[in-house]
Every structure is written in structure tokens, then in C-alpha cells.
Structure 1
Amino acid sequence: MASGAGETPVTQPDERDADPIPLSALQHAIYCLRQAALIHIERMWEENRLTAEGHVMHIAADRPSMRRVRGVRRESALPIASKRLGIAGVADVVEFHTGINGETPYPVEFKRGKPKLHRADEVQLCAQGLCLEEMTGRPVPEGALFYGETKRRVTVPFDVELRLLTEETVARLHEIFTTRQTPKAIYRADRCRACSLIDLCRPKTMAKAARDWRNRTLALLLEEHTAS
């Protein structure tokens, strides 16, 4: 999406980046930027019940295929990418809806559970839409998230706010991938407890260590200032 007057310009990926950022990293980054770095830079991963259920749900969608359902062409496990943003991945399902001006891509992402309070799923889906727009040269105004717990689709409009959040997330990830710096741990009970990396990340321990170091540093500075 081109930046218009008054919009915050989005940092473009460094052309020296050898590998594109995986689409799944965007979902991780919205949930927790440190989690994204641990998984995609430090290559850490731990399976738990939630991730295992998500993996099982994706098995069927991960088989490449093409078929027509009620006149709609559906392609599963479709490789997609955006050279402009430096991202790539595989879409669970892309439907191609035929209209008077041709086929309009419509990405559908499968998720376990139910709709969430944060926008991680929506950002990952929007990134797929941006890839499809670049690949096909056609606008992709919306897509859908299918949740395993509710067995229902949730339509996601790719509005200006969501597109900007998606591109800003991509820019933050490119910065992390370039610097190879993993963000510091910040404990959030509502997210950390469900994270499969909690034992590897140790957010409480890391956050306490950072606080203790900061307090010791401040105490030493205050002591030196008082002595002078």
C-alpha cells in the first residue's frame, strides 16, 4: 500500500536480506515480539497442547490441491510472497471469486480455538492479502479466518488501519532480523501463561534480572553523585 500525504512512511526491507520473513512470524510478532525473535532467529520451539492442536488442524490444508466449489476456484497450500515487503509463506486456502472484471483472490486461514482479543491472526491474514495483490495485480479487499472451536468463518476487511499495522509489523521484524537482537522479556500473564516458550523465555526471571541490574546501576550513580 503506497503511503499518501500525512501517512507514516513504512520502512522498506533491506535489499541485502537474503531470505524473506516468514508470514507466520507476523502472527508471533503481534502476540509477542520476543517470541517471534526466539522462534525465527534463535530457532527455539516447544510444543504444547495449543500448538499441537493447531498443527493437526493444518494438516489437511497443507496438502497442495485445486478444486472448484460452487463455481469458486479453491487452491490450498498456495506459496505466496511480496518482494516489496520481503515476506513469503504458504496460504492455507485461497479462493478465487469470479466477477465481471476477472478473479478476485480471497485468502482463508485456518486457526484452532476462537477469535482473539489481539490482532495477530488478522495481521497474518492481511499479509497474505498484500502478497496476493502484488502477485496478481488485483485488489484484495478482504479475507476470512476459520476457527476450529466455533466452526465458523470470520470475515476480515483489509482496511487502512489493518494494512498499516501489518506493514509496520513487517518493518519491525526486518529490523530485528537485521540486527539479530532479541527483545528483552516483559512478563504479561494473559499471554505468557499460554505461550509454549515460557520455560525457554523465562519472562519473570529475565524481567527481574533486568530490574535488579537497573536498580543497582541507579544506586551506584546516585552514590557517585552524592560523593562528588
Structure 2
Amino acid sequence: MTEYREEEYLMLSGIQHFAFCRRQWALIHIEQQWQENEYTVSGELLHKNAHDPYFNEKRKDVITSRAMPVFSRSMGVSGECDIVEFRKAADGVTLQGHRGTYTVYPIEYKKGSPKDTLIDILQLTAQAMCLEEMFSVRIPEGAVFYGETRRRENVVFTEDMRKQVREAFQEMHQLYDRKYTPRVKWSKSCNACSLKDICLPRLGKTSSVKEYIHKAISEENE
């Protein structure tokens, strides 16, 4: 199995951008373009409430860890889990400083309501796969908590979802290594994208924003 070096790791959370739009992912992670909108700001506020890296809570048989760093050498990614619950169980893993064994249950926080796409589910699956690699354990399920409904939606990690995650990260590494930004493919989802004013759909066949700007400047100087 191929293992990536730490300096080659991509951001785990990037799979959400990638699943939404490959071009959006490339603009953010390759070209370092970013722009806030109401969706990104409200999402950050929700995550800020979930993330306290110095907070671990134990209630009865459940240990709650927030902003837990995770990584995968096989997929070449690293990031954080919003919340990981370690639930006491006879067939779980051992935790330093705690008696007994525990199962691992990741929880991702999202600001809105459940989506028709697999975007949130793939991100949670990726987190679970990192945790599996780190703890040498199989994690069958986790949950996505939605701020709008104030409910957890249980997610079962299927082999198909795991396959999609692995293939997505493989393609992300290939694009990143080539420094290639995919071309514009307009869809209705573009209207909700925080980068719609940066993406510039009229780029047409031009793949890079930098290339587009350079071309526009050259035309003005002619």
C-alpha cells in the first residue's frame, strides 16, 4: 500500500469542496482563492462552538473529544473531527488514561439541513477512515449534526462510500501535483457558491483564474 509523506498531505475537509465542485476545490486549495458569504460565515460559527481542542468530557460511559486531529498515511490527508465520541464497550479499543475499551463514533457539525447529495456523508466517511487507520479498528457508523434541524442524522459507512472517498483523494492528489484547475461547468449549485465571483464562468476554455487575468491585461495593453 502506498503511503504519503506528511508534507504531501491534503486537507481532509477539502473532500467537501471537491464533491461539490472540482473547480471550487482547485480554486481554494491550489490557487488559494477564497471568499466569504453568508453560508461560509454561519458554518464557521457553528464549528467554532463545536471546536474546543482543550475540551474532553466524560459522562457515564461516553468520552467526548472535540476538534480531534486525524490523518491517513494511505490517503495522504489530515484534518480534524468536530466531535468524536468514545463509547464504552466490550469489543472496543483502549484509550490512554482510561479503563476499559471503547467504540469510536465520529460526528460532523453542519449549519443547515440534510442535503440531497453525499457531500456531508463523504466528509464524515473520510474522517471515519482516518480514525480506523489510527486506531486499527472498524467503524461502522457515525452521525452528521445539522444546526437547522438540531438533530443528528445517523450514517452507515458502506463499502461504496469508502471507495468514493479513496478515489476522490487519489484524484485530488493528481490535480494538486499537476497544479491543474478544472474548467468551468455551470450548474444551479453555482448560485450558492462563495466563489462565484472569483470562478468567472465566462472563462470558457481557460482553466486558471490567473491565466484569465493575464490574458485580460494583455488584451488591454494591445
TM-score range, shorter chain: 0.7 to 0.9
Give, in whole Å, the separation in 2 of the partners of 1:72 and 1:16.
Answer: 34
- How does 1:128-207 map onto structure 2 within 5 Å? 128-189=127-188, 191-203=189-201, 205-207=202-204
Name stretches of at least 5 consecutive residues in structure 2 with no aligned partner. 92-100, 208-222
Please tell me whether the aligned partners of residues 70 and 130 of structure 2 are also in contact (alpha carbons under 8 angstroms).
yes
Deviations 1:129-157 (A, max 9, x none): 00000111111111100000010000111
Alpha carbon RMSD of aligned pairs, Å? 1.7
Aligned residues, how many? 197
Name stretches of at least 5 consecutive residues in structure 1 with no aligned partner. 3-11, 211-228
Please tell me whether the aligned partners of residues 5 and 76 of structure 2 are also in contact (alpha carbons under 8 angstroms).
no
- Secondary structure, counterpart of 1:156 in structure 2: strand
Aligned residue for 1:92?
A: 82
- Secondary structure, counterpart of 1:96 in structure 2: strand
- Secondary structure, counterpart of 2:152 in structure 1: strand
Letter in 2 for 1:200: I
Give, in whole Å, the separation in 1 of the partners of 2:49 and 2:90.
Answer: 32
Give, in whole Å, the separation in 1 of the partners of 2:85 and 2:26.
Answer: 32
Please tell me whether the aligned partners of residues 187 and 207 of structure 1 are also in contact (alpha carbons under 8 angstroms).
no
Letter in 2 for 1:115: P
- How does 1:1-228 map onto structure 2 within 5 Å? 12=2, 15=4, 18-64=7-53, 65-101=55-91, 102-189=101-188, 191-203=189-201, 205-207=202-204
- Secondary structure, counterpart of 1:161 in structure 2: helix
Give, in whole Å, the separation in 2 of the partners of 1:181 and 1:57.
Answer: 32
Deviations 1:39-84 (A, max 9, x none): 0111110000010000110112221111013421100010000111
Please tell me whether the aligned partners of residues 86 and 103 of structure 2 are also in contact (alpha carbons under 8 angstroms).
yes
Kindly name which structure, 1 or 2, has the bigger radius of gyration based on alpha carbons. Answer: 1
Please tell me whether the aligned partners of residues 48 and 196 of structure 1 are also in contact (alpha carbons under 8 angstroms).
yes
Give, in whole Å, the separation in 2 of the partners of 1:180 and 1:17.
Answer: 19
Please tell me whether the aligned partners of residues 144 and 156 of structure 1 are also in contact (alpha carbons under 8 angstroms).
yes
- Secondary structure, counterpart of 2:26 in structure 1: helix
Deviations 1:83-123 (A, max 9, x none): 11101001100001111122111100000111111111111
Please tell me whether the aligned partners of residues 31 and 120 of structure 1 are also in contact (alpha carbons under 8 angstroms).
yes
Of residues 75-84 and 96-105 in structure 1, the stretch that sits farther from structure 2 once superposed is 96-105
Give, in whole Å, the separation in 2 of the partners of 1:62 and 1:209.
Answer: 39
The change in CA–CA distance for 1:209 and 1:45 in structure 2 (over 3 A counts) is closer
- Secondary structure, counterpart of 1:59 in structure 2: helix
Give, in whole Å, the separation in 2 of the partners of 1:135 and 1:119.
Answer: 24
Q: Percent identity?
A: 39
TM-score (norm 1): 0.82
What is the CA distance between 1:208 and its match in structure 2? 7.5
- Secondary structure, counterpart of 1:100 in structure 2: strand
TM-score (norm 2): 0.84
What is the CA distance between 1:16 and its match in structure 2? 6.2
Letter in 2 for 1:33: R
